[in-house]
Chains A and B, each alone.
Chain A
Amino acid sequence: MEELKNLRKTLNQSLLKDIEVTNREKHRIVKNLKNRTVSRKYSKLKYGGALVATAFIFLILTISFLPTEELQPLSLIQEEFTYDPFVMPDGWDIVTVQEELKLIKHDLYNPENNEFDEIPLAYILEFGKKTEDNLFSAKEYRELLEKQNEDTYVWGSKIKYSHSYIGEKYGSLAINRLEYQGPLKETDIPDMEVMEFNGIKVYIGNFIGNEVYLWEKDNRFYSLYLQPAVFKRTDVDLIEILSGFISELP
C-alpha cells in the first residue's frame, strides 16, 4: 500500500501534529520523577495507618449490617440516571454495582486531589449467583476497600454494592451516558459483527475471552460482557439472555 510508505510523515502532519512534549511538560515530568518515587514510599507509610483505621471502620459497618441486608442493588442507581429496564435470566443475581464518575479535575501525582462530577458517567453491574448470605471474608473486604480507594482516586470508580457469589461471575453490563461515550461506530474489539436485534443494531465481538455485545438506545450506550462459563451451561439460551437485556424499540 502506497499510503503506508510515508505513514510517519503523514501522521505527524495530520493526527499527531499537535502532540508534542512542551518544555513545561518536560519540566513537570522531571520534577515529578523524584516526588512520585518518594511519595509512593511515603504515602504507603503515611496512609497505611489511615487505611487500616478506615478499613476497620468499614469492616465494622459492613459486618454489622450484613446478616439483615435486603438491599436492592438497582436502587443504588441515581434516579437522574435513566436506563432501559432489563430482565436477567432466571437464577442470575446482581453481585456488584459500580458507579463511574467523570473526572473533572485531574491531579495525576496526587490522585487524592482528583475531583469528580456528581452525575455518574456510567454504572457497571456484574452478574452471578449470590450466596445465601454475604460471605466476603475480612481479607476480601479489605482488598475491595483498597481497590475502591485506588480506583476512586484515579478513575472515579465507586463500588456501591458487592455480594459474595458462587463460582464464576456470569458477566457484566455497563450503562454509559452517550454524551461521553460518543456515537458507536466501531470499537477496539477485533472482528466485530453486526446484527439487528429487536430493531436495534448490536455489535458483537470477543474481548479477552468474553463475548461482548454493544448497542445504543435512548441516549445510552450499553456494553454487555458474557463470560465463557455462561455458554458452557447447556440450559442458557443466548437469545433469551439478549431478549432480557435488549428490549424492543417503542
Chain B
Amino acid sequence: MQLKNRKICEKEKVLQIESLLGQYGTELKRLSFLYVKDHTLAEDVLQEVFIACYQNLASFREESSYKTWLIRITINKCKDILKKWSFRHIFTRPIMEGELTSNNTPENQSVQKMEKDILAKSILQLPLKFREVIILFYYEELSVEEISSILQINKNTVKSRLKRSREKLKMLLQGWEEEWRS
C-alpha cells in the first residue's frame, strides 16, 4: 500500500478504507468500547475514526504501521468524547452492570466464564489512565515503546503506570473474589 508522494484518487481511497475497515474495524470498535464503555458511542467513534482516516490517508507517513496509526486516532477520538463536558457530568459512571451481570447467576455460568466476566468488569472499573495502559499492553499487545509513542508519555511512565495498574487490578479482583465467596 504505497501511498507516499502521489495523489490518491477517490476510488482508491475508498478501496483502501474498505480494506482497513475489514482488517481493523472490529478491533478498533472493541478498543473504543474499552475506552467509552458504551456501544453506541463506540460505533460513533469508529465512524469518526474512518472519516479522519479517509481525510488524512494521503498524508499518512509510513513511519508507523496502519494499525498503530488507527489506534492513535481511535484513542484521540475516545478521549475527545470523554473530555466533553456534558459527557463527564452524565456518564461519570462507567459501570455496565446490566451488561455484565444479567446472566451472572451461578446456575447460568461456569466458574470459568464467571472469572472472565470478573476480569472484564475489573478492567472497566480501573480509572482511565490505568485502564488504557493495560488495554494497550495486554489487549492490543503493543510494546512499551509503542504505547509511549501513542500516548506521548515517557517509557518509564508507561512502565510505572503498568505496575500500578496491575496492583490496582489485583486489588479489584481480590475484592470480587471475596464478594463471590461470601
Contacts and interface: CB of A to CB of B under 8 A. Distances in A.
Contact of A33 (B43, B51, B140): B51
B138 A30 contact: no
A13 to B, nearest CB: 6
Contacts, number: 155
A48 interface: no
Interface of B: 10, 14, 17-18, 21-22, 25-26, 29-30, 33-34, 39-40, 42-44, 46-47, 50-51, 54-55, 82-84, 86-90, 92-95, 97, 99-100, 113, 115-117, 119-121, 123-125, 127-130, 134, 138-141, 166, 169-170, 173
A71 interface: no
Contact of B47 (A29, A190, A208): A29
Contacts of A124: 86, 89
Contacts of B94: 186-188
Given A7-B139, A30-B18, A187 B93 contact: yes
A190 B166 contact: no
A21 B26 contact: yes
A26 B21 contact: yes
- Most chain A CB within a 10 A radius of its CB, from B14, B22, B87, B138: B138
B90 A3 contact: no
A188 B44 contact: no
Given A182-B95, A188-B128, A190-B127, A3 B139 contact: no
Interface residues of A, number: 58
Contacts of B138: 4-5, 7-8
A30 B14 contact: yes
A29 B50 contact: yes
Given A7-B138, A14-B116, A19 B169 contact: no
A108 B116 CA distance: 33
Contacts of A37: 51, 54-55
Contacts of B166: 1, 4
A233 interface: no
Given A33-B51, A174-B89, 19 more contacts: A3-B173, A4-B138, A7-B138, A8-B141, A11-B34, A19-B29, A19-B30, A20-B26, A20-B29, A29-B46, A33-B14, A33-B54, A37-B51, A124-B89, A183-B95, A184-B93, A185-B97, A188-B82, A223-B89
